[in-house]
Amino acid sequence: MTLDDIRALIIDMDGVLWEGERPMPGLVEFFDTLRARRIRFVLATNNASHTPDQYLAKLARMGVQAERDQVIGSGLATALYLKRHAPAGAKIFAIGEDGVRQALLEQGFRLAELYEDDADYVVCGLDRGLSWDKLATATLNIRAGAIFIGTNPDNSFPTERGLTHGNGAILAALEAATGVRPIIIGKPEPIMYQLAMERLQVPPSETVALGDRLDTDILGAVRAEIRSILVLSGISSRAQIAGLDYAPTWVMEDIREVTAAISAGGKPVQAA
């Protein structure tokens, strides 16, 4: 199999492009190669904590330039999903950081304050300022009938210090408290990949997902019916593939190997 027919990549960030504030080796060369080969890309992350502008600033600090419409976080994906499905101006109680709150405000939604219990929706994303009061307000609203939305289901989160808890752990606490399962917007649901492909304007047959997690990035690609590359620089390992009923199209060590494979053009690349 070769990578010579790829016209677009949908690229995860945490564990693929960086660990916390530490860029992965070969980051600048990776993006230089994409541009040289005229491969379009969208950066699509389940991390809902940052806004597109904050991600652009982080990339710039690491020597990479990108455009705002090339970045989709699960917070933005959630706001865009609700824009299509929720009543205009609906009231939302949001657990989350700038990437969730700003996206919802930009789409015209009203944000409920602590202990207001008349929200139409509860949206929960990664929140490093999580408190008892936020969890209590979310619980009260969900029990009162608010629709429960999770930006993403990741149970763990890679940092430069190692793995810590992700948004899935917060969702599990709220589900335990309310008995209500959230509607998930981020990967492995196909919604984010579909939004990315709308922006790329490239057929699914010529689009490939690049990620480090089998249970989100790769399963999401399978559900979106696109090919995928698993890199081993983040969460998942090659050994874990054997126990699954799905698999990535290719497995590579990191973005340096992806860069080399793209640069090789029509030369065969080993499949997973």
Closest CA to 89 of 72, 104, 67, 73: 104
Catalytic residue flag (residue 14): yes
Q: Which residue has the tokens 């705002």?
A: 68
- Say which of 12, 120, 215, 254 is annotated catalytic: 12
Cβ density class 136-171: b for 16+ within 10 Å, e for less:
ebbbbbbeeebbbbbbbbbbbbbeeeeeeebbbbbb
5 noted as active-site residue? no
Can you tell me which residue has the tokens 């990035």? Answer: 217
Q: Which of 14, 120, 154, 215 is an active site residue?
A: 14
CA proximity to 170, closest of 262, 72, 49:
49
CA dihedral 242, 247, 250, 254 (to 10 degrees): -70
Cα of 189 vs its chain's centroid, Å: 10
Catalytic annotation, residues: 12, 14
